[in-house]
């Protein structure tokens, strides 16, 4: 379960780590939760790319484009990371 109910779209978007961080920051600002930014950023950037994605799953509701079959493998990978993180 995510720490917030703020949605961030990952599938079908630029997968660059900095682009993901930017979308997360914008989502926090829109939701008026900028107070979470430093905590999120420090954790998200403390390890590798998979840790970044898992941290996004910890803080946000990951929004996927359900009509985009071309990116289904990415959605499955992200969901796998989110599900594995919830088991810990």
pLDDT value at position 48?
96
pLDDT at 35 over 70: yes
84 — pLDDT class (breaks 50, 70, 90): low
pLDDT at 37 over 60: yes
- Give the global pTM: 0.74
pLDDT value at position 15?
86
**Sequence ranges of the domains in the chain:** 7-87
pLDDT value at position 78?
63
pLDDT at 64 over 80: no
Tell how strand 7-9 and strand 61-63 pair up. parallel
In order, the DSSP letters of 26-77 are: HHHHHTT-GGGHHHHHHHHTSS-HHHHHHHHHHHSEEE--TT-GGGHHHHHH
């Amino acid at each position: 379960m995510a720490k917030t109910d703020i949605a961030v779209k990952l599938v079908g978007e630029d997968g660059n780590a900095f682009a993901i961080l930017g979308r997360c920051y914008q989502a926090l600002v829109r939701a008026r939760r900028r107070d979470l930014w430093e905590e999120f950023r420090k954790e998200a950037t403390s390890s590798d790319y998979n840790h970044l994605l898992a941290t996004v799953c910890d803080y946000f509701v990951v929004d996927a484009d359900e009509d985009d079959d071309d990116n289904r493998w990415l959605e499955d990978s992200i969901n796998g990371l989110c599900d594995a993180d919830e088991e810990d």
